[in-house]
Amino acid sequence: MKLEHHYGVTLEWLGNRGTGTSDYRAYGRNTVATVPGKPPIEGSADRPFRGDPDRWNPEELLLAALSECHMLSYLHVAATNGVIVTAYRDEAEGTMVQTPDGGGHFTSVTLRPVVTIAGTDDRLAASLHAEASAKCFIAASVNFPVGHEPVTIVS
């Protein structure tokens, strides 16, 4: 049985400065993404692409999605394997390469979760990252490697 889940987001461009896209420098890159009942996400392009550095850019949002998806998958497999997680923090990094035609793509992402567990089975806790990675919907949807460099702390 195939279960489908559907998602919707409204994205609005806020960058018309009066002349639209009449010139590459004439328009702003600011956006707002909304979902009913949730706080808006204020976005923009990354600074090298004439964006507002005070707003989330798509590249950061992709890293955040990969990091959060792995964390939620990890918490699930930890709970089902009897590992008690008491804290989790990730310092995710990604590499994007621009191509001569003006496009680009991510070549890799590395997640660096630091997981604190109650108990003593740090080897089991560390091994669960592989299962969590296999269960992460976002990681399964990208076409570049998502690596993991986990650290487990026993409290």
pLDDT, one tens digit per residue, over 89-116 is 999 999 999 999 989 999 999 999 999 9
For 9, 137, 143, the CA distances from 63, given in Å and listed in that order, are 18, 14, 14
pTM score > 0.75 for this model? yes
For the residues 15-32, what does the mean pLDDT come to?
93
Strands 113-118 and 146-148: unpaired
Superfamily the domain 58-154 falls into: K homology (KH) domain (3.30.300.20)
Q: Is the pLDDT of residue 1 over 80?
A: no
Question: What is the average pLDDT value for the chain, to the nearest integer?
Answer: 95
Residue 2: per-residue pLDDT: 84
CB-based burial label for 37 (10 Å; 0-12, 13-18, 19+): exposed
Strands 146-148 and 104-111: parallel
Domain boundaries, the chain: 10-49, 58-154
Residue 36: per-residue pLDDT: 96
Residue 108: per-residue pLDDT: 97
